[in-house]
Protein backbone atom coordinates (compact mmCIF):
# COMPACT_ATOMS: atom_id res chain seq x y z
CA UNK A 1 0.00 0.00 0.00
CA UNK A 2 2.93 2.33 0.67
CA UNK A 3 4.02 1.90 -2.97
CA UNK A 4 0.45 2.43 -4.13
CA UNK A 5 0.32 5.71 -2.19
CA UNK A 6 3.30 6.97 -4.17
CA UNK A 7 1.47 6.35 -7.46
CA UNK A 8 2.57 2.80 -8.37
CA UNK A 9 -0.41 1.56 -10.36
CA UNK A 10 0.60 -2.11 -10.36
CA UNK A 11 1.06 -2.07 -6.60
CA UNK A 12 -2.36 -0.44 -6.18
CA UNK A 13 -4.04 -3.04 -8.40
CA UNK A 14 -2.30 -5.81 -6.46
CA UNK A 15 -3.40 -4.31 -3.12
CA UNK A 16 -7.01 -4.16 -4.27
CA UNK A 17 -6.96 -7.70 -5.68
CA UNK A 18 -5.42 -9.14 -2.52
CA UNK A 19 -7.80 -7.15 -0.32
CA UNK A 20 -10.96 -8.81 -1.70
CA UNK A 21 -10.61 -12.12 0.25
CA UNK A 22 -9.88 -10.19 3.46
CA UNK A 23 -12.93 -7.97 2.90
CA UNK A 24 -15.11 -11.02 2.26
CA UNK A 25 -13.90 -12.61 5.49
CA UNK A 26 -14.57 -9.43 7.48
CA UNK A 27 -18.09 -9.23 6.01
CA UNK A 28 -18.81 -12.86 6.92
CA UNK A 29 -17.56 -12.25 10.47
CA UNK A 30 -20.02 -9.35 10.79
CA UNK A 31 -22.88 -11.64 9.70
CA UNK A 32 -23.52 -10.18 6.25
CA UNK A 33 -25.73 -12.53 4.19
CA UNK A 34 -23.97 -14.27 1.31
CA UNK A 35 -25.97 -12.42 -1.34
CA UNK A 36 -24.87 -9.04 0.09
CA UNK A 37 -21.14 -9.72 0.48
CA UNK A 38 -20.30 -8.42 -3.01
CA UNK A 39 -21.99 -5.12 -2.14
CA UNK A 40 -19.81 -4.82 0.97
CA UNK A 41 -16.72 -5.63 -1.12
CA UNK A 42 -17.57 -2.88 -3.62
CA UNK A 43 -18.31 -0.30 -0.92
CA UNK A 44 -15.08 -1.18 0.89
CA UNK A 45 -12.99 -0.91 -2.28
CA UNK A 46 -14.52 2.50 -2.99
CA UNK A 47 -13.78 3.60 0.55
CA UNK A 48 -10.18 2.37 0.27
CA UNK A 49 -9.82 4.39 -2.91
CA UNK A 50 -11.20 7.53 -1.24
CA UNK A 51 -9.14 7.26 1.97
CA UNK A 52 -5.96 5.53 0.77
CA UNK A 53 -3.88 8.56 1.76
CA UNK A 54 -4.82 7.96 5.42
CA UNK A 55 -2.97 4.62 5.57
CA UNK A 56 0.13 4.84 7.75
CA UNK A 57 2.83 2.53 6.33
CA UNK A 58 4.31 2.07 9.82
CA UNK A 59 1.12 0.26 10.88
CA UNK A 60 -0.59 -2.95 9.84
CA UNK A 61 -2.37 -2.80 6.50
CA UNK A 62 -4.55 -5.79 7.43
CA UNK A 63 -5.82 -4.04 10.57
CA UNK A 64 -6.53 -0.83 8.61
CA UNK A 65 -8.36 -2.79 5.91
CA UNK A 66 -10.29 -4.88 8.46
CA UNK A 67 -11.50 -1.74 10.25
CA UNK A 68 -12.80 -0.25 6.99
CA UNK A 69 -14.37 -3.53 5.83
CA UNK A 70 -16.08 -4.08 9.20
CA UNK A 71 -17.57 -0.60 9.11
CA UNK A 72 -18.84 -1.06 5.55
CA UNK A 73 -20.33 -4.43 6.55
CA UNK A 74 -22.15 -2.83 9.48
CA UNK A 75 -23.38 -0.03 7.20
CA UNK A 76 -24.68 -2.69 4.80
CA UNK A 77 -26.50 -4.52 7.59
CA UNK A 78 -28.07 -1.26 8.81
CA UNK A 79 -29.26 -0.46 5.30
CA UNK A 80 -30.68 -3.94 4.90
CA UNK A 81 -32.50 -3.60 8.22
CA UNK A 82 -34.07 -0.32 7.10
CA UNK A 83 -35.16 -1.87 3.79
CA UNK A 84 -36.59 -4.92 5.53
CA UNK A 85 -38.72 -2.70 7.79
CA UNK A 86 -40.11 -0.74 4.82
CA UNK A 87 -40.50 -3.44 2.18
CA UNK A 88 -42.96 -6.28 2.35
CA UNK A 89 -42.81 -9.45 0.30
CA UNK A 90 -46.34 -10.77 0.12
CA UNK A 91 -46.81 -13.43 -2.56
CA UNK A 92 -50.59 -13.50 -2.06
CA UNK A 93 -50.87 -9.75 -2.65
CA UNK A 94 -48.71 -10.09 -5.75
CA UNK A 95 -50.89 -12.87 -7.13
CA UNK A 96 -54.11 -10.95 -6.42
CA UNK A 97 -52.89 -7.70 -7.97
CA UNK A 98 -54.85 -6.85 -11.14
CA UNK A 99 -53.12 -7.06 -14.50
CA UNK A 100 -52.01 -4.00 -16.41
CA UNK A 101 -54.68 -4.51 -19.12
CA UNK A 102 -57.53 -3.31 -16.93
CA UNK A 103 -60.11 -1.74 -19.29
CA UNK A 104 -61.66 0.35 -16.53
CA UNK A 105 -58.32 1.95 -15.70
CA UNK A 106 -57.67 2.66 -19.39
CA UNK A 107 -61.09 4.27 -19.75
CA UNK A 108 -60.50 6.39 -16.65
CA UNK A 109 -57.09 7.46 -17.96
CA UNK A 110 -58.63 8.47 -21.32
CA UNK A 111 -61.32 10.49 -19.54
CA UNK A 112 -58.70 12.21 -17.37
CA UNK A 113 -56.62 13.03 -20.46
CA UNK A 114 -59.68 14.50 -22.20
CA UNK A 115 -60.51 16.63 -19.12
CA UNK A 116 -56.93 17.88 -18.95
CA UNK A 117 -56.80 18.82 -22.65
CA UNK A 118 -60.18 20.54 -22.34
CA UNK A 119 -58.92 22.49 -19.32
CA UNK A 120 -55.75 23.48 -21.19
CA UNK A 121 -57.81 24.62 -24.18
CA UNK A 122 -59.81 26.88 -21.85
CA UNK A 123 -56.72 28.78 -20.66
CA UNK A 124 -55.88 32.27 -21.94
CA UNK A 125 -53.55 32.12 -24.99
CA UNK A 126 -50.36 33.11 -23.14
CA UNK A 127 -50.88 30.54 -20.39
CA UNK A 128 -51.88 27.83 -22.88
CA UNK A 129 -48.75 28.55 -24.92
CA UNK A 130 -46.54 28.32 -21.81
CA UNK A 131 -48.08 24.96 -20.84
CA UNK A 132 -47.76 23.56 -24.35
CA UNK A 133 -44.09 24.48 -24.74
CA UNK A 134 -42.77 23.98 -21.21
CA UNK A 135 -44.90 21.10 -19.92
CA UNK A 136 -46.23 19.18 -22.90
CA UNK A 137 -43.29 19.58 -25.30
CA UNK A 138 -40.82 19.66 -22.36
CA UNK A 139 -38.80 22.50 -23.86
CA UNK A 140 -36.33 24.47 -21.79
CA UNK A 141 -37.13 28.08 -20.94
CA UNK A 142 -34.64 29.27 -23.55
CA UNK A 143 -36.14 27.06 -26.26
CA UNK A 144 -39.70 28.08 -25.39
CA UNK A 145 -38.73 31.77 -25.32
CA UNK A 146 -37.15 31.47 -28.74
CA UNK A 147 -40.13 29.56 -30.15
CA UNK A 148 -42.74 31.95 -28.75
CA UNK A 149 -40.84 35.23 -28.97
CA UNK A 150 -41.56 35.91 -25.29
CA UNK A 151 -39.17 36.36 -22.38
CA UNK A 152 -38.31 33.51 -20.05
CA UNK A 153 -39.75 35.50 -17.14
CA UNK A 154 -43.08 35.96 -18.91
CA UNK A 155 -43.21 32.24 -19.68
CA UNK A 156 -42.50 31.34 -16.06
CA UNK A 157 -45.25 33.64 -14.81
CA UNK A 158 -47.74 32.31 -17.35
CA UNK A 159 -46.85 28.71 -16.55
CA UNK A 160 -47.29 29.33 -12.83
CA UNK A 161 -50.68 30.96 -13.39
CA UNK A 162 -51.74 28.23 -15.80
CA UNK A 163 -50.84 25.44 -13.39
CA UNK A 164 -52.74 27.18 -10.62
CA UNK A 165 -55.80 27.58 -12.85
CA UNK A 166 -55.59 23.97 -14.06
CA UNK A 167 -55.29 22.69 -10.51
CA UNK A 168 -58.40 24.63 -9.49
CA UNK A 169 -60.40 23.44 -12.52
CA UNK A 170 -59.44 19.79 -12.22
CA UNK A 171 -59.73 19.54 -8.44
CA UNK A 172 -62.98 21.51 -8.61
CA UNK A 173 -64.38 18.98 -11.11
CA UNK A 174 -63.37 16.06 -8.94
Q: Is the dihedral of CA 144, 145, 147, 148 positive or negative?
A: positive
Query: In sequence order, what DSSP letters do the residues of 69-124 get, joined into one string?
Result: HHHHHHHHHHHHHHHHHH----HHHHHHSPPTT-HHHHHHHHHHHHHHHHHHHTS-
pLDDT at res. 142: 92
Fold topology of 103-173: Arc Repressor Mutant, subunit A (1.10.10)
The pLDDT of 160-173, averaged and rounded, is 87
The share of the chain scoring above pLDDT 70, in percent, equals 91
Q: Kindly list the domain boundaries of the chain, sorted by start residue.
A: 2-86, 103-173
The pLDDT of 33-52, averaged and rounded, is 93
CATH number attached to the domain at 2-86: 1.10.1740.10
Half-sphere exposure in the Cβ direction for 122 (13 Å, CA): 13
pLDDT at res. 49: 92
How many Cβ atoms from other residues are within 10 Å of residue 68's Cβ? 22
How do residues 104-158 score in pLDDT, each as one tens digit? 777 888 888 888 899 999 999 999 999 999 998 999 999 999 999 999 999 999 9
Q: Is the pLDDT of residue 94 over 80?
A: no
pLDDT at res. 134: 93
Amino acid sequence: MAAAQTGDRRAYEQVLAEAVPLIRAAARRQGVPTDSIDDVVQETLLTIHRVRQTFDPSRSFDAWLNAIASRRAIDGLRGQGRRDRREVNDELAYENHPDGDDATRDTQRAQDDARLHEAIAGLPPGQREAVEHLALKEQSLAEAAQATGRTAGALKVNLHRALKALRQRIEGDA
